[in-house]
Structure 1
Amino acid sequence: MSSNPWSRRQVLKGALGAMAASAWPLGALAATPPRKPLGVALVGLGGYSEGRLAPALQLTKHCRLAGIVTGTPAKAKAWQARYQLPDRNIYDYDNFASIADNPDIDVVYVVLPNSLHGKYTIAAAEAGKHVWCEKPMAMNAAEAQRMIDACNRNKVKLAIGYRMHHEPNTRRIISWVDEKPYGAIRRVRAEAGFSAFDEDSRGNWRLDPARGGGAMYDMGVYALNGARYATGLEPVAVSARHETRRPQIFTGVDETTRFTLEFPGGIVGDCATSFGINMNQLHVDCERGWYELAPFQSYDGIKGRTSDGKVLDARVQHQQALQMDEDALAIMQGTPLRAPGEEGLADMRVMDAIFASAKAGGKKVTIAG
């Protein structure tokens, strides 16, 4: 889209050359860190922070868990004891702004319900801290742009938590956008979902539209982002429909969303996401064959195959550790981030169009550039 100054392919190519993801498990991400590891403060201590990010930060070389932000005093006390965090690095949401005065904290990682990503990304930027924000970046494209503007204005970096951009098998298929080992791409299928939630799940924020719940925000962003990085293109139009099999549970958010992306050159993306159906595949059809990853967005075990019998099965010790180490190293060295704020913004532009199309009963919606 010519009106968009950010070029997806340029970012991907620049990031691909910055470092080899597959080298990280062998300890060769960087021979000598240019400075001490970056101090990271996790904002929000839910399941993802507790189960994935905090353990990952015990494995990283270029960043470390330095602080936490939580509204639950009992959690603060337990985390402080577990990770030996000093009192000065424990924050709640009322005193969050004072993190600006703490030299131990270099990066704030926003791991909150989707509706709070914008607020705390902007607050962290205004405190002069680099920001890592979980996906989806925002509730809409306008909010995503405000987040980018705040980080630019305060001269801090913004990375979105797209861990798959760092995963080596995914990096391989991203490289094939330019290498074209199977000829030109014709069609892509991307599906991400799982079966969950029942009538006892009503308090879960993923079922609350005000907090950014629903399958499209939570899992659909994997399918959307996968279709974009697998083609190296930005979609120009989309048609989408929401489906609900359990309306007593999904009263204000989508249970399943199916959407078709139209890319330049006649390439089509068939995509789906769900909270009611298990799905986890990225498949690319080309003029001389095909390739796929299945699963393509699990926390481990990413693997793939090709029409001519190749197997994609490179492994990493921990996806989130790799993600955070590469983002930290990019900040320290001034090299491109693999998934900067502009990557999240590009997804949000399409997400806006997906919701508009579904609201209009599946009518095709042109995506603003």
Structure 2
Amino acid sequence: MFLNVRSSESPVRGRGAQSAQVPTRFGLATREVDGDWLDAAGAIDGPGPKLRTTVTEEFAKTAISYNTSPDIPFDRSLNPYRGCEHGCVYCYARPTHAWHDLSPGLDFETKLFAKPDAPALLRKAFAVRGYRPAPLALGTNTDPYQPIESRYRITRGVLEVCLETGHPVTITTKSARVLDDLDLLQALAMRNLTAVSISVTSLDPRLSGILEPRASAPAKRLAALEALAKAGVHTNVSVSPIIPAITDSFIEAILLEAGARGVQSASWIMLRLPHEVAPLFREWLDVHFPDRAAKVMAIVQAVRGGKDNDARFFSRMKPSGVWADLVRSRFRLAMKRAGIPQAKPALDCGQFRPPHRDGQLALF
């Protein structure tokens, strides 16, 4: 359940979500703008104030989140930020903002949280006796290279800890800002300690501008993949998410472009619409693609067992049906034509050495 709160009937410029989408799943107090007042306000006061991004610093007790999901290939992750200014309308992490009594809609992309002590907490976690290393995933929930990273540099601090301790780390991002840390990534790559995946959903900057308004343009993401590959970093192009009748026509072209830039592997994920993401995406379709909204959702439901989303383990990441099978075949053939070798990185966990505990020198 959700309450749709829109400040205007016109598109929200520069943002992915078109409304607040106040969650009611947790019994939170709801709020609603009075329609009569809204009609009069525009004529009297003019357009409302421009949406501004705010950042709240939070100080967590731990840095690493562990999971036992059978659907994802890692068991631990770290997210330097909550919320994401990139504003991708389809982002499956949006519902997490409800835990802050905030909207998974516009609040998710304008009211952000930063964890400035994440590198120190990570060092502390690595120093615990009995800690066993495995690849640490960055960017699994929100983007570690969203715009505020240029100010906080939390992701860079995390990479520095991983390089110092010889701990493997992977990155998923939609930002060319990842190149700000090319020096660290190259040093990690030389020791087989890192791999970077950049998501490219389309090659149309105008589409990208409304789908993921504050992420890097597609051309910049491809250029970042090329720069990383030339630096010896294992690179993956993630054609994710694939949105039927919106972005699926770009599959072959994206893979050809990525292959020409030396990308070593490729992957894809079908659009997922958990909780509040479904109504937010439907609203986005009504605003930007009203002519094909029904078709898009019909295909989405066709690959998700007749629902907007399939949340079951073992099937939530595996769409089914004729349309999904067609995408699999197209992707496999396009990879061959693009010459992408689909090399899977086997990051080295044997180099890990825990940091010194309590400032004392290690014996070995």
> Does the pair score TM above 0.5?
no
TM-score by length of 1: 0.30
Larger Rg: 2
Which protein has greater RCO, CA pairs closer than 8 Å, 6+ apart? 1
Higher normalized strand content (fraction of residues): 1
What is the TM-score normalised by the length of structure 2?
A: 0.30
